[in-house]
Structure 1
Amino acid sequence: MSQKVALVLSSGGARGLAHIGVIEALEEKGYEITSVSGSSMGAVVGAFYACGKLKEYKEWALNLDRYDVFKLIDFTFSVQGFVKGERVFKTLKTIIPDQNIEDMRIPFAALVTDIKAKTQEVFRTGSMYQAIKASVAIPTVIKPVMINGREYIDGGVTNPIPIEHVHRTEGDILVVSNVNAIMPFVKVKEDKVLEAESATYNQKIQAFINGWGKLLPGNTETEKKLGFFDLLNESIDLMQDKLTSLLLEKYKPDLLVNISREACSTFEFYKAKEMIELGKDLFEAAYQAKRRD
């Protein structure tokens, strides 16, 4: 009989693609994933796995290049966020139809944050796409999502690693994939052409963000030493570091797969192949280290 696994997938933007590699590595070793919870990008990967469509999502992600990703970002000028977040999900729906969470093949929980109530909420029922769209709504980056009169943002704000919300069954083990780990990351050097393309892609996004950030009240060059997006990232990272440490200390996983937050940036979704392979490699490293304990 296969060892059952309750799987928890952290927030982390494009780094969350590494969760796919962790899932594949678990299954290759004969583990049976019986439930999954996720926050932000972890909710996206977790949802597609729970509904049996991770293969389709992976194939779609692997075919994205830098400019495909850029075209999927529907920029907007709004005080609530500079990305609508609608275009990418509209595209995904043509590949993977929506379904109710309660109808998925295994229990799934998506973490979101109720911005008005200042509380974390767990979606275990209702539209899969509504849940994951709300869970990835990064504050001031992606516009909040309104569901039943309540305004939701990124689940990672209140719970970047939702261990306590994964469904547990008798005899299962707890596996956590954390793509926000503070640890060194040695990048494989890109060739000069790819490096230049990557720089152009990141510059385009940064230029829009900087222009949008200057429109915010009090956000002047003399008042800020960090760029707008840098300051936002640093603030969120600091908060999530503290929350993650507390959660991992309280709910000790049987196996923890740590992936460096330096592996890629939030919007580098064109790095799917690299991230998936990294997830597999670091799962194997964590697995072997656990066996030696």
Structure 2
Amino acid sequence: MLRRRKIPGRKKVGLALGSGSARGWAHIGVIRALNEAGIKAKFVAGTSIGAFVGAFYASGRMKNIEDFTSLLTKRQVFTMLDLVFPRSGLLDGDKVSEFFAEQIGPKMMEDLEIPFSTVSTDLDSGEEVVISRGDILDAVRASLSIPGVFTPVMLNGRMLVDGGLTNPVPVDVVREMGADFVIAVDVNSSIFSNNAKDEVAKERSAVTWRKRSETFGAVKLFEDKIRKFAQEKESSLFKGWRKKEKLPGILDVISTSMNIIEVQLTRMRLAIDPPDMLITPDVGDIGFAEFHRAYEAMEAGYRAAEKALDSM
């Protein structure tokens, strides 16, 4: 049990939970550590898996997701995958949505205990889309829609995909919600390097930020290329083409591409708008779809939060 701590001054704490697929279970451990330390967020924003976990936190139902993930096996992960190949994504995400709807409680974002926002990306314009009102399931499902993996979500006339393409760790979003002390959790920092914080420091003096619509106008092109690749490989995918050609699987291609985009973008954005506390769980060895390694991720999140709190 961590000793209780107070954020300096009468601050409104905001929690920004980043994208990262299976690595995002580390958010659960971070939240457990913050709770033990007596730190409760007044605002929460999440991207992708961060939106998924964040919704449980905002609804006061963290025990539901912690109990579920702690017992998750490889087989259970597989049974939650609903293949729709070769449409606009490999998976529909319906089974994940069903679990979420059963466990979350409130149906509308306005009814949550803590103000909550999700981040998605408009596939047509490349713009960041922040959702703070309306159906929780729609907002979270859109934020989770990794291009090429999950089918996009049509919401209010916009085709939405994973928010990690535009804002992987939504520090600015939770600030705009009213937070004046932001705790950010980046679960991707150790994928390619253990020196992410040093890289952020270097970026601060050199980075030039361009308009999001200009920088990420190629999101749709990325999606189209992934879809074309999937269609070309459909017939051979199930005949051992990976062994024959010694190429990575399609999920490896997609996940690595997303990792590259999100790690670089996170470094840029944290350089421009750094949080008051940055927590970086060491979960780089947990693969894109290794959701069964939840215990490891949660423990890594807890340790990282403990370290960050000790340095306050």
- 1:91 counterpart residue number: 99
Give the letter for the 1:27 counterpart. N
Q: Is the 8 A contact 1:19 1:276 kept in 2?
A: yes
Q: Is the 8 A contact 1:82 1:212 kept in 2?
A: no
**CA distance in structure 2 between the aligned counterparts of 1:92 and 1:117, rounded to whole angstroms:** 28
- 1:248 counterpart residue number: 270
Change in CA separation of 1:154 and 1:169 when aligned onto 2, cut-off 3 Å: closer
Change in CA separation of 1:119 and 1:60 when aligned onto 2, cut-off 3 Å: same
Q: Secondary structure at the match of 1:253?
A: coil
Offset of 1:2 from its aligned partner?
5.2
1:75 to 83, 88, 109: 83
Q: Is the 8 A contact 2:283 2:297 kept in 1?
A: no
**CA distance in structure 1 between the aligned counterparts of 2:250 and 2:266, rounded to whole angstroms:** 24
Q: Is the 8 A contact 1:11 1:39 kept in 2?
A: yes
Matched, 1:273 2:292: no
Q: Spell out the pairing of 1:1-293 with structure 2 (5 A cutoff).
A: 3=7, 4-167=12-175, 172-182=180-190, 183-184=193-194, 214-215=233-234, 226-288=248-310, 290-291=311-312
**CA distance in structure 2 between the aligned counterparts of 1:92 and 1:234, rounded to whole angstroms:** 26
Q: Secondary structure at the match of 1:16?
A: helix
Q: Is the 8 A contact 2:43 2:116 kept in 1?
A: yes
Q: Secondary structure at the match of 1:176?
A: strand
**CA distance in structure 2 between the aligned counterparts of 1:98 and 1:106, rounded to whole angstroms:** 12
TM-score by length of 1: 0.82
- 2:199 counterpart residue number: none
Offset of 1:81 from its aligned partner?
1.0
Q: Secondary structure at the match of 1:160?
A: coil
Offset of 1:93 from its aligned partner?
2.0
- 2:225 counterpart residue number: none
Offset of 1:124 from its aligned partner?
0.2
Give the letter for the 2:234 counterpart. L
Change in CA separation of 1:224 and 1:161 when aligned onto 2, cut-off 3 Å: farther
Give the letter for the 2:262 counterpart. Q
Q: How many residues align?
A: 263
Offset of 1:55 from its aligned partner?
1.3
Q: Is the 8 A contact 1:98 1:127 kept in 2?
A: no
Q: Is the 8 A contact 1:40 1:132 kept in 2?
A: yes
**CA distance in structure 1 between the aligned counterparts of 2:179 and 2:125, rounded to whole angstroms:** 36
Change in CA separation of 1:271 and 1:261 when aligned onto 2, cut-off 3 Å: closer
Change in CA separation of 1:171 and 1:143 when aligned onto 2, cut-off 3 Å: closer
Offset of 1:155 from its aligned partner?
0.6
Please provide the CA RMSD for this pair: 2.6
Change in CA separation of 1:149 and 1:31 when aligned onto 2, cut-off 3 Å: same
**CA distance in structure 1 between the aligned counterparts of 2:126 and 2:230, rounded to whole angstroms:** 29
**CA distance in structure 1 between the aligned counterparts of 2:174 and 2:79, rounded to whole angstroms:** 34
**CA distance in structure 1 between the aligned counterparts of 2:92 and 2:178, rounded to whole angstroms:** 42
Q: Is the 8 A contact 2:19 2:50 kept in 1?
A: yes
Instruction: Give unmatched runs, 5+ long, in structure 1.
Output: 186-209
Q: Secondary structure at the match of 1:82?
A: strand
The structure whose residues are more often strand, as a share, is 1
Instruction: Give unmatched runs, 5+ long, in structure 2.
Output: 196-228, 236-240
- 1:197 counterpart residue number: none
Q: Secondary structure at the match of 1:19?
A: helix
Offset of 1:254 from its aligned partner?
1.6
Give the letter for the 1:90 counterpart. E
Offset of 1:65 from its aligned partner?
1.2
1:251-271 alpha-carbon deviations (Å, 9 max, x no partner): 121211112452311221112
Q: Secondary structure at the match of 1:99?
A: coil
Q: Is the 8 A contact 2:26 2:298 kept in 1?
A: yes
**CA distance in structure 1 between the aligned counterparts of 2:96 and 2:251, rounded to whole angstroms:** 21
**CA distance in structure 2 between the aligned counterparts of 1:263 and 1:213, rounded to whole angstroms:** 30
Taking only the aligned residue pairs, the percentage that are identical comes to: 35
**CA distance in structure 1 between the aligned counterparts of 2:154 and 2:121, rounded to whole angstroms:** 11
Q: Is the 8 A contact 2:55 2:104 kept in 1?
A: no
